[in-house]
Amino acid sequence: MQFEPGDRRRVLPRHLRPQPEPEVFSYSIRAARAGDLPYVREIYNHFVSNSVVTLDERRSSIPYWREKFALLSKLGLPFLVAVSPAGVVIGYALAQPWAGKNAYRYTVEDSIYLGPGAGGKGLGAALLQALIDACEQLGIREMVAVISDTKADASIRLHAKLGFVEAGRMGRVGHKFGRELGTVYMRRALRPSRRRRFFSTSSGR
């Protein structure tokens, strides 16, 4: 059948119209840069203001993130960001010293946060795996996660999926939004591929 110009029948019925291709969630993971810190701060502050995922009650500042970025760079510890095709930071992961004593130098604590709309799409697992890989290449032997015990099922499942096991719980050690909060400790033994070069974070006392 042919349609004459101007014939309204030229419009195909809805069920016959070509359907748009579904939008593909894509990203790349790379080392964080100084220019990423405003995005990182906004992602973190979203959770500070709206959840108990972090027990911080005060929103963080750019100087705070610059100091953390400088410390992790000095220690050679990984600070990774996930970036959308448009160049927007949609999530980050970092490894920080577990404690300031020299004897803890082969152990790190992970921290992973995803921006609004980036959860539930596999990005958290990709960031955590990239962080684990980076730490093993640096000679780190142990990774620890400290997770709020309230509405943290997704984080617990994520860590368990990547080989973390529960190491203990502490109840009512935090207080936020008028609620008593506890923490879940999870750990994973890493397989370092090299000997770690050590940079001290303490005064040696």
Strands (E), 3-158: 28-31, 79-83, 89-97, 107-114, 142-148
Please name the helix (run of DSSP H) or strand (run of DSSP E) that holds residue 187, with its range, or none: strand 179-189
Amino acid 98: pLDDT: 94
Residue written as tokens 């790190």? 108
What is the CA 204 to chain-centroid distance, rounded?
31
Q: CB–CB of 105/196 below 8 Å?
A: yes
* pLDDT attached to residue 3: 41
Quick one: pLDDT at residue 194? Answer: 79
For residue 152, the model assigns a pLDDT of: 83
Question: What are the mean pLDDT values of the chain's consecutive 10-residue runs (205 residues total)?
Answer: 48 66 85 98 96 94 98 96 96 95 94 95 97 97 94 91 97 93 97 75 46
Q: Are 59 and 49 in contact (CB under 8 A)?
A: yes
